[in-house]
Structure 1
Amino acid sequence: MTNDTYLYPYSSAEARDRNELSLWRESHKANIACRNAIEDTIRQSFDGMHLDKNCITPVLEEYGYKRTAWVLANTLHELKWDGRFGHANKQWAERACIPKDINHNSDFVVRSHPAVLDGFVTFYRKAVQALNLFGAEHCVGDRAEQDFTGKVLVLSPEALREQYWGQKNQLWYARSGFGCEPHSSGRAVFATCLSDGETARWNREDFIGVLDDKFLPDWAREKLEEMMTQEQTDAPTMGGMKMK
């Protein structure tokens, strides 16, 4: 991915309050460049009747999934009155939290023909689906009330760099930390990645929720069993008996 500019998540007013205007400016500039790239690829890939399904690839390679989604969702927010965008794409855009910035959001609205742009948005959504990431639909229970300790958690893709997007980097076994407790003021969750055994500290909000066991892949189930066996082996002993 060529453009690795940080995607700034707040408005210019909030950036001013946070003394982060330089971060906002760089991100805003990248949003506009991404908008231009989308318009260019649509112009080059539309033959008057059909839009080449591969037109999404160069934009994703240059600007990544997050910024491309940011620009597309912002466009649909700004043009929500336009009936040429499909219902499913409008619903997708509504789930994206783009901060209101009256003086600047219009700067990165894609100006391609809405009916053709709607096809581009569909291609984007299919590209994300092809990554086969875990989401809220794969989790079980009320996240706000759950104790995460000893559970397999789904890490949000937003917490990962895009080059690490994939199921194997999303599944973590929660071990400890005040963030495991649903009503604790602490945020830290200490967890182990099921795919490679890496242990890291995350915040509770980095996780989408507890994975429904029926979605646990075979490779992850094997890793979890190995982990449980190792924990029992490593448990301290007293008088030849395992301590529980």
Structure 2
Amino acid sequence: MMSVSTCLEFIRIRFLTMLAYRVNYYSGIIIYAINIGAYYFLWKAIYGDQPSLAGFTAAQMTTYVAVSWMARAFYFNNLDREIASEVRDGSVAVQMTRPYSYLMVKMMQGFGEGLFRLLLFMVPGMVIACLLFPVKLPTDPKAWAVYLVMLFFSFLINSQLNILTGLCAFFIENIDGMIRMKRVLVDLFSGVIVPIAFLPGWLSAAMQWLPFQAITYLPSAFFTGRTPLGEAGSALGLQLLWFVALLLPITFMWRSARKRLFVQGG
């Protein structure tokens, strides 16, 4: 097990690494603002004169769109591509000989990137979104506290899915197509593009058995007020359940991957 100080050091190093390329993320704020604007006007046209659809009022949907995209800025990372690249160039063999958990290092690096995105991407992006669009933020401090916890679980679950995808590189030499497919599935079924409540009944029911909703839909639905504060415990419990459940396939794949590893070049 890694010590707390070691974990903090990996987080700090990744944060400083991201800070060196911060200009890319400043431009990303503009891109996300454009995405939010596009979806805002799309949903505005869909709602028309109707007060609510699928349990979302027009005001809640505006907030949902802004919060979902800004949350994505925090939990998004490229751990899958990093693992695949290290397997491909053979550097993963060196990583595995070091006296710390390879997967834990990846998680800490992803969290360092997430903190950078939170402070220099998500927060300023949310400020801009509030200035440009009629976003209504909750005023109850408890709602903010619960949402931050749910957002942290969003990062954990999304990172676990990325790690699972990245570990496939130990068995399949090229997983670029798999990575692209995974990102499309996460964006679509987590609720970033369309809230799960708007999906057809059979598909919405199927999503209850998949971890995607725990990444975006559950936190954003709570933040907009569609899920009341009294039901936050069940949403948090579902996120915790998926976090624990995903540890099992990760552990199994990691054990199999270590036995199967072969290095090309390096």
TM range (shorter): under 0.3
Relative CO higher for 1 or 2, CA cutoff 8 Å, sep ≥ 6? 2
Higher strand share: 1
Q: Higher Cα Rg: structure 1 or 2?
A: 1
TM-score of the aligned structures, taking structure 2 as reference length: 0.26
Higher helix share: 2
